[in-house]
């Protein structure tokens, strides 16, 4: 049977393609797909998604399934954009007469990282799944805090030094909930949303992993 395979970040560069079709035996499970790609040893920390949802390695595949291999993610209402981000837009999305506080976070590209001069960042996302994961994060925050709304906007493509890569806005009746949820949002975003960051340095480049 045939399945579609999606690859991202360093895996895409390793394979020389971001998407391919693979013939696998009927009854194959998700764990059977990586060996069939013949790309060497499976990288540590690799996650698997089937049809844009995270899945266990033992999940049985069906004809036409899309299997995506998710490298450890870097770190709208849930928006991916190749255009510059606006914090004002995110704040506008969460503004409400019921809100007594709006907490925000803005992430920008710094000029030095890991002791090297940064020229630019390049972000890549698993579109469709990334936005859905942002929405799941917002729903979880709302379930655990007294919030009104949550907005998460993230850049994809090239982001220059000093430019904004992510903005988050959280509104709540009380500042404590808004501040706590905003901090949790960026930490969770870095750990679960399929977004990857490449740092381009003077004389080199590197894909940056989870929690960056």
Q: Give the chain's mean pLDDT.
A: 91
How far is 157 from 169, CA to CA, in rounded Å? 22
Rounded mean pLDDT of 199-207? 92
Tokens of residue 102, six digits? 């709006």
pLDDT at residue 45 in the model: 73
How many Cα atoms are found within 13 Å in the side-chain-facing hemisphere of 20? Answer: 17
Lowest pLDDT segment from 67-81, 90-104, 129-143: 67-81
Lowest pLDDT segment from 34-38, 77-81, 108-112: 77-81
Instruction: Label residue 138 by pLDDT band (50, 70, 90).
Output: very high
Secondary structure class of 143 (helix, strand, coil)? helix
The structure tokens 């340095």 sit at 201
How far is 189 from 187, CA to CA, in rounded Å? 5
CATH fold of 78-208 reads: Aldehyde Oxidoreductase; domain 3 (3.90.1170)
pLDDT tens-digit map of 33-62: 999 999 998 887 788 889 988 888 999 999
- Nearest Cα to Cα of residue 48 among 64, 68, 29: 68
CATH topology identical between 2-70 and 78-208: no
How far is 211 from 117, CA to CA, in rounded Å? 20
What are the residue ranges spanned by the domains of the chain? 2-70, 78-208
CATH fold of 2-70 reads: Ubiquitin-like (UB roll) (3.10.20)
């Amino acid at each position: 049977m045939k399945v579609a395979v999606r690859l991202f970040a360093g895996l895409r560069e390793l394979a020389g393609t971001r998407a391919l079709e693979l013939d696998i035996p009927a009854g194959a499970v998700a764990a059977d797909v990586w060996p069939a790609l013949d790309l060497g040893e499976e990288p540590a920390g690799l996650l698997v998604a089937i049809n844009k949802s995270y899945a266990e390695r033992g999940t049985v595949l069906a004809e036409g399934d899309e299997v995506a291999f998710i490298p450890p993610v870097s770190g709208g209402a849930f928006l991916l954009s190749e255009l510059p981000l606006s914090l004002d837009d995110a704040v506008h999305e969460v503004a409400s007469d019921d809100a007594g506080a709006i907490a925000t976070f803005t992430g920008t590209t710094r000029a030095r990282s890991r002791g090297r001069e940064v020229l630019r960042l390049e972000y890549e996302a698993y579109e469709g799944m990334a936005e859905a994961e942002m929405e799941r994060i917002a729903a979880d925050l709302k379930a655990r805090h007294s919030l009104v709304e949550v907005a998460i906007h993230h850049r994809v493509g090239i982001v220059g030094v000093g430019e904004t890569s992510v903005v988050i806005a959280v509104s709540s009746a009380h500042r404590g909930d808004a501040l706590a949820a905003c901090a949790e949002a960026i930490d969770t975003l870095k750990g679960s949303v399929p977004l990857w960051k490449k740092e381009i340095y003077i004389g080199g480049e590197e894909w940056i992993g989870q929690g960056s």
